[in-house]
Structure 1
Amino acid sequence: MSSVHQYFLSEEERNSYEIKKYVTDDVSKEVEYFLPTEVAVHNTEIDCWISYNDMVYDLTDLCKVWANRREIKPILAYAGKDISHWFDHEKNDIKYYVHPVTGALVPYCPHGPIPDVIPSVVPCSTWRPLDKCPWWLDDKYKKGHLTKNARPCRILNVLVGVQVVIMVCEEDSISRIQERALVYNKNGKSYTWKFEGKDLNLDLTLTENGIPDERERFAACGIPDDYYIPCLMCYYNE
């Protein structure tokens, strides 16, 4: 059996200084979570977001660098979508396969070549390893996390009796939910937010405030999952 030639970054290379220097280390920045629908609206060449491995990335700058080249076409085709199936989750790298003819371990690109992937499948003396951090490992494109659970939330403005139902991330704090609801009430953050008569802790999530997502329990009982949606009460502060 022929030996396998590797055409990807080794574990040592991935952890080397050359890779790390491309990665930001701003731990003070608050982690932001996004809904799949929020990613989906960024689906053009001049505004291109994608998600993979539970993270959200803004590849707009990458699209500019690779504009009008065939390598960017697969990414544009998946703009606003999830491309986790391109990646090996354990290695946090793109998938590879053993070429049936050459026996080389080569990138698996079923939709065509993509940026920062060496296309050659034949070992040769002119081959050189990638001399920069590939885009899928470069944290400068990172926007935040893709939510693990998008859940509905009802918000009632007690002053005027108007209510809306919006989708929020399971990981959103009440403060973040307030920001999402500003489109319906620009002064919403100045209101007092309560649930069942108790003030909500703005730094905690719905679940942490004792408001779990019970849709799975409803479904198990044959009840529509929208039968009951928790309602956050917003009281105007005079």
Structure 2
Amino acid sequence: MSERPKYFTPREVAAHNTAEDLWVSFLGKVRDLTPLMTQHKGDALLLPIMECAGKDISSWFDPETKDVLRYVHPLTNCVGYYTPRGRFVHIPPAGPRSDWASVIGRPWWRDERYEVGLLSAKTRWIRVINTLTSQEQQLEVCSEETLAEILQRYLRYNSHARSYTWKYDGAILDMSATLGENNVPDDDHQLERLRLDRDLFIPAVLLHFNDDLTEG
């Protein structure tokens, strides 16, 4: 059985926005381009990538071919890569060049070695309330994540989170399923349509300590 891919929120991708730690997302995937930045350090062709550090660059690519967008040059009628921000690493020059290595191997946008996970198609917020201590933590999570994966996010706030039973609306949650599969509603779109403050309607997941005999 293959390991589930890790999902990231746009906020998590945005945190990696320097040349020494550079991530981007495109076409639903998250890539760590830090090794590329190190390999081509000082190369001006890194500038377009640097300008978009931590951002989604799906607009650079054709979703069908998964390749960089192409266009027909209006003067030469030649087909070339469409790079309005400027040519970047692994994009060949427009004309013949003696300083360009035509054999570069797999370009970085097709190289799976840079892939670290998938970009969440929809993030959501939940309130995690520890019924033993009354401590509450708001978490932004990926809608594709299972409760077990959300627990991993929560461990930074409570290292004993595995010792608790997770419940919503009185029902024990299936930790191998997502919030949606556990019938924890995501009303973001409806709240937006009704122009209601989403922060007032964040669903609460309750944690019950397993050794607390006062909890039913």
Q: What TM-score, normalized to structure 2?
A: 0.91
1:83 to 26, 47, 57: 57
Q: CA deviation at 1:217?
A: 1.7
Q: CA deviation at 1:227?
A: 2.6
1:193 to 160, 166, 172: 166
Letter in 2 for 1:111: R
Q: Give CA-to-partner distance per residue, 1:58-116, whole Å, 9 cap, x none.
A: 00111111100011111111111111111111111101111122111111122222111
For 1:149 and 1:215, the matched residues in 2 are separated by 10
2:126–2:202 CA contact under 8 A, matched in 1: yes
Q: CA deviation at 1:127?
A: 8.5
Q: CA deviation at 1:216?
A: 1.5
* Partner secondary structure for residue 183 of structure 1: coil
What residue number does 2:140 align with? Answer: 167
2:37 to 52, 55, 63: 63
Letter in 1 for 2:162: K
Paired residue total: 211
Q: CA deviation at 1:128?
A: 7.6
Q: What TM-score, normalized to structure 1?
A: 0.83
What residue number does 1:43 align with? Answer: 17
* Partner secondary structure for residue 207 of structure 1: coil
**Cα distance change on mapping 1:183 and 1:124 into 2, 3 Å:** closer
Letter in 2 for 1:135: W
Residues 1:74 and 2:48 are matched in the alignment? yes
What residue number does 1:103 align with? Answer: 77
Q: CA deviation at 1:175?
A: 0.6
What residue number does 1:23 align with? Answer: none
* Partner secondary structure for residue 181 of structure 2: helix
Letter in 2 for 1:175: A
List alignment gaps of at least 5 residues for structure 2. Answer: 212-216
What residue number does 2:89 align with? Answer: 115
What residue number does 2:204 align with? Answer: 231
1:192–1:199 CA contact under 8 A, matched in 2: yes
**Cα distance change on mapping 1:208 and 1:100 into 2, 3 Å:** same
What residue number does 2:109 align with? Answer: 136
**Cα distance change on mapping 1:203 and 1:37 into 2, 3 Å:** same
Deviates more, 1:223-232 or 1:64-73: 223-232
Identity rate of aligned residues, in percent?
Answer: 37
* Partner secondary structure for residue 209 of structure 1: coil
RMSD: 1.9
For 2:140 and 2:63, the matched residues in 1 are separated by 27
List alignment gaps of at least 5 residues for structure 1. Answer: 1-26
Deviates more, 1:121-130 or 1:63-72: 121-130
For 2:90 and 2:81, the matched residues in 1 are separated by 11
